[in-house]
Chains A and B, each alone.
Chain A
Amino acid sequence: MASVTLKNVTKRFGKVTAVNSANLEIRDGEFIILLGPSGCGKSTMLYSIAGLEDITEGEIYIGERLMNRVPPKARNIAMVFQDYALYPHMNVYDNMAFGLKLRKASRQEIERRVHEAAALLGIGHLLQRRPRELSGGQRQRVALGRAIVREPDVFLMDEPLSNLDAILRVQMRAEISKLHQRLQTTFIYVTHDQVEAMTMGDRIVVLKDGVIQQVGTPQEVYAHPANVFVAGFIGTPSMTFMTGMLTPHGSTLAFDTGTFRVPLPRASAEAAGRYADRAVIAGVRPSAIQVLPSGGADGVKPPETCIVAAKVDVVEPMGDVAYIFADVGGQSFTVRVDPTALPGVGQVVPLCLDGAALHLFDAETQQAIAIPMRQPAATISSP
Chain B
Amino acid sequence: MSGSRYSLVRRILFPLGLAFFVVFSLAPFAWMVLSSFMFKAQLLTDPFALPPHFTLDNYVRLFTSPNDGVGAANFIHAVINSLGICAITTVISLIIGSIGGYAFARLRFPGKNALLLVLLAIQFLPAVTVIIPMFMMGRAVHLLDTWWILIFAYTSFALPLTLWIMRGYFESIPRSLENAARVDGCSRFGAFLRVVLPLSAPGFAATAIFTFLNAWDEFFFALIFTNTYAAKTLPVALSEFTGRHTVDFGLLMSGGVVANVLPVVIALSVQRYIVRGLTAGGVKG
- With contacts A73-B186, A82-B176, A102-B186 known, is A87 near B181, CB below 8 A? yes
- Are A77 and B183 in touch, CB under 8 angstroms? yes
Kindly state whether residue B284 has any CB partner on chain A within 8 Å: yes
Contact with B along A101-121 (1 / 0, CB 8 A): 011000000000000000000
Q: A146 contacts which of B184, B198, B285 (Cβ < 8 Å)?
A: B184
Chain A contacts of B279 at CB under 8 A?
Answer: 88
- Are B187 and A71 in touch, CB under 8 angstroms? yes
B185 to chain A, nearest CB (A): 3
- Are B280 and A85 in touch, CB under 8 angstroms? no
One of A131-139, A264-272, A308-316 at the interface: A131-139
Kindly state whether residue A235 has any CB partner on chain B within 8 Å: no
| Most chain A beta-carbon neighbours within 10 Å: one of B180, B199, B279, B284 | B180
Q: How many chain A residues touch B (Cβ–Cβ < 8 Å)?
A: 34
- Are A84 and B183 in touch, CB under 8 angstroms? no
A188 to B171, CA, bound (A): 28
Kindly state whether residue B174 has any CB partner on chain A within 8 Å: yes
Kindly state whether residue B17 has any CB partner on chain A within 8 Å: no
- Are A103 and B185 in touch, CB under 8 angstroms? yes
Chain A contacts of B278 at CB under 8 A?
Answer: 88-89
- With contacts A52-B179, A79-B180 known, is A87 near B282, CB below 8 A? yes
- With contacts A72-B182, A79-B180 known, is A85 near B283, CB below 8 A? yes
Chain A contacts of B70 at CB under 8 A?
Answer: none
Q: B177 contacts which of A85, A136, A139, A150 (Cβ < 8 Å)?
A: A85
Kindly state whether residue A246 has any CB partner on chain B within 8 Å: no
Kindly state whether residue B195 has any CB partner on chain A within 8 Å: yes
- Are B176 and A73 in touch, CB under 8 angstroms? no
A89 to B202, CA, bound (A): 12
- With contacts A103-B185, A146-B184 known, is A83 near B179, CB below 8 A? no
Chain B contacts of A52 at CB under 8 A?
Answer: 179, 182-183
Please name the residue on chain B nearest to A130 by beta carbon: B281
Please name the residue on chain B nearest to A150 by beta carbon: B184
- With contacts A83-B174, A85-B174, A89-B199 known, is A78 near B183, CB below 8 A? yes
- With contacts A72-B183, A146-B184 known, is A85 near B282, CB below 8 A? yes
B190 to chain A, nearest CB (A): 8
Chain B, interface residues (CB within 8 Å), range:
20 to 34
Kindly state whether residue A232 has any CB partner on chain B within 8 Å: no
Please name the residue on chain B nearest to A53 by beta carbon: B179
Q: A71 contacts which of B182, B280, B282, B284 (Cβ < 8 Å)?
A: B182
Chain B contacts of A134 at CB under 8 A?
Answer: 281
- Are B285 and A83 in touch, CB under 8 angstroms? yes
Chain A contacts of B280 at CB under 8 A?
Answer: 88, 132
A148 to B283, CA, bound (A): 19
Interface residues of B in 177-209 (CB under 8 A from A): 177, 179-187, 190, 195, 198-199
- Are A73 and B284 in touch, CB under 8 angstroms? no
Chain B contacts of A78 at CB under 8 A?
Answer: 183-184
- With contacts A84-B284, A85-B174 known, is A73 near B180, CB below 8 A? no
Chain B contacts of A87 at CB under 8 A?
Answer: 177, 180-181, 195, 282
A131 to B284, CA, bound (A): 10
- Are B284 and A83 in touch, CB under 8 angstroms? yes
Interface residues of B in 257-285 (CB under 8 A from A): 278-285
Chain B contacts of A331 at CB under 8 A?
Answer: none
B254 to chain A, nearest CB (A): 43
Chain A contacts of B187 at CB under 8 A?
Answer: 71, 73
A156 to B176, CA, bound (A): 13
- With contacts A85-B176, A87-B177, A89-B198 known, is A73 near B282, CB below 8 A? no
B187 to chain A, nearest CB (A): 7
Kindly state whether residue A98 has any CB partner on chain B within 8 Å: yes
18 residue pairs from A and B, CB less than 8 Å apart: A47-B179, A51-B182, A71-B182, A78-B184, A81-B179, A81-B283, A84-B283, A85-B176, A85-B283, A86-B281, A87-B282, A89-B199, A89-B282, A99-B183, A99-B184, A132-B282, A139-B284, A146-B180
**Other contacts beyond A77-B183, A79-B183, A81-B176: 8, CB < 8 A:** A78-B183, A81-B179, A81-B283, A84-B282, A85-B177, A85-B180, A86-B281, A87-B180
Q: Which 7 A-B pairs have the closest CB atoms?
A: A132-B281, A88-B282, A102-B185, A99-B184, A85-B176, A83-B283, A85-B180
